[in-house]
């Protein structure tokens, strides 16, 4: 049994489905079903005895302690978080609550449970914490990508809360020897992502004939990682990562937001042409996000050489899987 937090969110639900499809052991899935969580991506698991869903909060220490004692997982995979940068600018409190206090609460419950295990199970136990490239701050165009040794320089309330969580996770290893692993991934895309994020927003707005808002000059750069590549990387880290280490995960697909918007429009022009002409006509530059990081890029040498993982999708191939998925979904709802 593994214990997943945030498994009704975008990445967590993709992780749980892939984990069980791969014939792995059962999953206990704890999710508070905030605005960002939904049981929809888990619908295919209904009736599957290997999946136990619990609607609850990671900050509820007694609930988490009870679940750990009852189910006795061999690992915790911690996705649960407030994840949207724009929301963190408007309301940072929830980010500190879930991302910092929630991670602290989970670490303490994990430590207490871990101490009840026998020696072999204690050595085999893993606490896998899912973090982000955003904790490293922003890169200039000519700077080399972030490595695991890049210094922390979080710039948004979201990334500051994730950085704080990372430091707690690190300290629980250093001080208490809890066998933790931390991963830093770049921007994910794929099925079941919330429509507040760039790629689903571009697709949804384009099909509704609404403007495609690009913040500032549209030249901010992100490294795009298909969620299935991310999930495969997490399986690898959980299986073979060395406790106490951190691993960068990226798609090696740096794109400006304008390039992303144009690529989405080109695919939509091919797959769902609009009578009014190319969807690119809808691209609209809007006021910038405050503190908008200019560029993220990931050096993935460590996970590639140490653990043998690499991304399988290019941005073109990943997008060619993703856009039709959203088209089918929007068509089936209309
Ligand atoms: P998401 O917002 O889609 O999902 C988050 C999930 O956590 C939701 O199901 C929500 O209901 C749940 N949740 C929130 N607060 C909770 C709480 N207090 N208790 C229990 N559950 C709670 O996020 P995502 O995009 O799937 O991201 C998952 C993780 O990956 C996050 O930790 C995020 O910081 C990290 N990450 C995401 C990306 C990305 O591109 N999406 C990139 C880097 C890192
Ligand atoms: O409407 C938009 N217009 C726009 O130009 C939106 C929603 C975004 N953007 C820009 C901002 C970013 O430069 O697109 C880029 C991507 O934005 P988001 O999808 O909001 O992602 P980002 O802010 O980069 O953060 C994501 O990746 C790192 C996740 O939301 C985080 O959880 C993760 O840690």
Q: Is the dihedral of CA 294, 195, 92, 145 positive or negative?
A: negative
pLDDT tens for 278-302 read 999 999 999 999 999 999 999 999 9
> What distance separates the 2 farthest-apart alpha carbons in the chain?
67
Residue 8 has a pLDDT of 98
- What's the pLDDT at 194? 98
The CATH fold of domain 2-188+227-250+297-312: Rossmann fold (3.40.50)
**Residues framing ligand 2 (Cβ under 6 A):** 83-85, 132, 134, 187, 197-198, 201, 213-215, 220, 222, 257, 289
Closest approach atom of ligand 2 to CA 187: 27
Question: pLDDT for 126-139, tens place per residue?
Answer: 999 999 999 999 99
Question: Is the pTM higher than 0.90?
Answer: yes
User: Which ipTM did the prediction report?
Assistant: 0.99
150's CB contacts (< 8 A; 6+ apart) are 136
Note whether 303 and 140 are within 8 A (CB).
no
Instruction: Count other C-beta atoms under 10 Å from residue 44's C-beta.
Output: 12
- pLDDT per position as a tens digit, 190-248: 999 999 999 999 999 999 999 999 999 999 999 999 999 999 999 999 999 999 999 99
Distance (Å, whole) CA 57 – CA 261? 36
Dist. CA 159–CA 156, nearest whole Å: 5
In contact, 186 and 136? CB cutoff 8 Å? no
Of the listed ligands, the closest to the CA of 130 is: 1
Q: Is the dihedral of CA 287, 258, 184, 97 positive or negative?
A: positive
Ligand nearest to the CA of 60: 1
Q: Kindly report, residue by residue over 167-201, the tens digit of the pLDDT.
A: 999 999 999 999 999 999 999 999 999 999 999 99
3-state secondary structure 82-110: CCCHHHHHHCCHHHHHHHHHHHHHHHHHH
Find, among 6, 32, 172, 163, the residue nearest to 104 by Cα.
172
Distance from first CA to last CA of the chain, Å, rounded?
Answer: 39
CA 44 to CA 221: how far, in whole Å?
35
Cα 73 to the center of its chain, rounded Å: 22
Which strand (E) or helix (H) includes residue 226? strand 221-226
**How confident is the model over 27-36, as a mean pLDDT?**
98
List the residue whose alpha carbon is closest to atom 5 of ligand 1: 9
Residue with CA nearest ligand 2 atom 16: 198
The yes-or-no answer on residue 134 being catalytic is yes
Ligand 1 binding site (Cβ under 6 Å of any ligand atom): 5-6, 8-12, 30-34, 36-37, 57-59, 79-81, 83, 98, 102, 130, 132, 162, 185, 187-188, 194
Q: Is 269 a catalytic residue?
A: no
In the structure, what pLDDT confidence band is assigned to residue 3 with cuts at 50, 70 and 90?
A: very high
| Sign of torsion over alpha carbons 266, 269, 274, 276 | positive
């Amino acid at each position: 049994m593994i214990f997943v937090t945030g498994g009704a969110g975008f990445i967590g639900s993709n992780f749980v489905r892939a984990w069980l499809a791969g014939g792995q052991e059962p999953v206990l899935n704890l999710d508070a079903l905030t605005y960002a969580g939904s049981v929809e991506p888990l619908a295919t698991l209904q009736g599957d005895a290997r999946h136990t869903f619990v609607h609850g909060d990671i900050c509820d220490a007694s609930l988490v302690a009870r679940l750990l004692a009852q189910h006795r997982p061999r690992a915790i995979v911690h996705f649960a978080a407030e994840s949207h940068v724009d929301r963190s600018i408007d309301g940072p409190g929830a980010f500190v609550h879930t991302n910092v206090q929630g991670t602290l609460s989970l670490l303490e419950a994990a430590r207490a449970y871990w101490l009840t295990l026998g020696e072999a199970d204690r050595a085999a136990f893993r606490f896998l914490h899912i973090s982000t490239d955003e904790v490293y701050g922003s890169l200039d165009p000519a700077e080399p990508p972030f490595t695991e040794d890049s210094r922390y320089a979080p710039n948004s309330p979201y990334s500051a809360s994730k950085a704080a969580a990372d430091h707690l996770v690190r300290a629980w290893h250093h001080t208490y020897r809890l066998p933790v692993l931390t991963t830093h991934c770049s921007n994910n895309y794929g099925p079941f992502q919330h429509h507040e994020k760039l790629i689903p927003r571009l697709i949804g707005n384009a099909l509704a004939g609404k403007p495609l808002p690009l913040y500032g000059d549209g030249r901010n750069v992100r490294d795009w990682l298909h969620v299935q590549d991310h999930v495969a990387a997490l399986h690898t880290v959980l299986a073979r990562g060395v406790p106490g280490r951190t691993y960068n995960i990226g798609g090696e697909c740096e794109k400006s937001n304008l390039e992303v918007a144009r690529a989405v429009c080109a695919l939509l022009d091919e797959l769902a042409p609009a009578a009014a002409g190319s969807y690119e006509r809808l691209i609209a530059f809007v006021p910038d996000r405050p503190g908008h990081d200019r560029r993220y890029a990931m050096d993935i040498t460590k996970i590639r050489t140490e653990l043998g993982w690499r991304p399988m999708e290019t941005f073109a191939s990943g997008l060619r899987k993703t856009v039709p998925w959203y088209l089918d979904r929007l068509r089936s709802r209309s």
